[in-house]
A = this chain, B = another copy of it.
Amino acid sequence: MLKQFRSKIEEKKKIEGALGILEWDLETCTPKKGQQHLSEIVGYLTMKEYEISTSKEFRDMIETLKENPEKLNEIEKKEIEVLSCEIEKIKNIPPEEYQKFSELAVTTQGLWEEAKVTNNYNLYKDKLQQIFDFNIKFAQYNRKDEKNLYDVILDDYERGMTTEKLDEFFKALKKEIVPLLHKIVAKGNPSRKLMTSTPVESQKKFNRVLGEYLGFDFDRGVVRESEHPFTLNIDKNDVRLTTKYMENNPFSGVFSTIHETGHGIYEQQIGDELKGTILACGGSMGIHESQSRFYENIIGRSRSFWKGIYSKVAEYIPVLANTSLDEFYKEINIVEPSLIRTEADELTYSLHIMVRYEIEKAIVERKITTENLPEIWREKMLEYVGVAPEKDSEGVMQDVHWAGGLVGYFPSYALGSAYAAQIFNTMKKEIDVDKILESGELYKIKEWLGKKIHRFGRFKETEEIIKEVTGEGLNPKYYIEYLKEKYSKIYDLDI
Residues of A bordering B, CB below 8 Å:
11, 14, 17-18, 21-22, 24-25, 28-34, 36-38, 40-41, 44-45, 201, 218-222, 224, 234-235, 237-240
In the complex, which residues of chain B have a beta carbon less than 8 angstroms from the beta carbon of A31? 218-222, 237-239
In the complex, which residues of chain B have a beta carbon less than 8 angstroms from the beta carbon of A11? 44
Give the residue among A14, A31, A222 with the most B Cβ atoms within 10 A: A31
Is the CB–CB distance between B21 and A38 below 8 Å?
yes
Is the CB–CB distance between B29 and A14 below 8 Å?
no
Q: What are 20 A-to-B residue pairs whose CB atoms are below 8 Å?
A: A14-B40, A17-B41, A18-B41, A21-B41, A24-B25, A25-B25, A29-B224, A30-B222, A30-B238, A31-B220, A31-B222, A31-B238, A33-B220, A33-B238, A34-B221, A34-B234, A34-B235, A34-B238, A38-B238, A201-B201
Distance from A487 Cβ to chain B, minimum over Cβ atoms (Å): 38
Is the CB–CB distance between B34 and A25 below 8 Å?
no
Measured in the bound complex, the distance between the Cα atoms of B230 and A443 in whole Å is: 39
Closest to A14 in B: B44
Distance from A270 Cβ to chain B, minimum over Cβ atoms (Å): 13
Is the CB–CB distance between A37 and B237 below 8 Å?
yes
Query: Would A33 and B237 be within 8 Å (CB), given that A14-B44, A21-B38 are in contact?
Result: yes
Is the CB–CB distance between B14 and A18 below 8 Å?
no
Distance from A230 Cβ to chain B, minimum over Cβ atoms (Å): 15
Is the CB–CB distance between A29 and B220 below 8 Å?
no
Measured in the bound complex, the distance between the Cα atoms of B49 and A44 in whole Å is: 13
Is the CB–CB distance between A18 and B34 below 8 Å?
no
Closest to A26 in B: B21
Distance from A14 Cβ to chain B, minimum over Cβ atoms (Å): 4
Measured in the bound complex, the distance between the Cα atoms of B224 and A11 in whole Å is: 31
Is the CB–CB distance between B32 and A219 below 8 Å?
yes
Is the CB–CB distance between A219 and B33 below 8 Å?
yes
In the complex, which residues of chain B have a beta carbon less than 8 angstroms from the beta carbon of A30? 222, 238
Is the CB–CB distance between A37 and B235 below 8 Å?
yes
Known: A21-B41, A24-B29, A37-B234. 11 other contacts (CB 8 A): A17-B38, A17-B41, A18-B22, A21-B25, A21-B38, A28-B29, A29-B29, A31-B219, A34-B237, A34-B238, A37-B235
Is the CB–CB distance between A41 and B22 below 8 Å?
no
Distance from A16 Cβ to chain B, minimum over Cβ atoms (Å): 9
Give the residue among A28, A45, A235 with the most B Cβ atoms within 10 A: A235
In the complex, which residues of chain B have a beta carbon less than 8 angstroms from the beta carbon of A201? 201
Query: Would A234 and B38 be within 8 Å (CB), given that A33-B219, A219-B31, A219-B32 are in contact?
Result: yes
Give the residue among A28, A38, A238 with the most B Cβ atoms within 10 A: A238
In the complex, which residues of chain B have a beta carbon less than 8 angstroms from the beta carbon of A45? 14, 18
In the complex, which residues of chain B have a beta carbon less than 8 angstroms from the beta carbon of A36? 237
Distance from A69 Cβ to chain B, minimum over Cβ atoms (Å): 30
In the complex, which residues of chain B have a beta carbon less than 8 angstroms from the beta carbon of A239? 31
Give the residue among A22, A25, A218, A235 with the most B Cβ atoms within 10 A: A25
Measured in the bound complex, the distance between the Cα atoms of B14 and A45 in whole Å is: 9
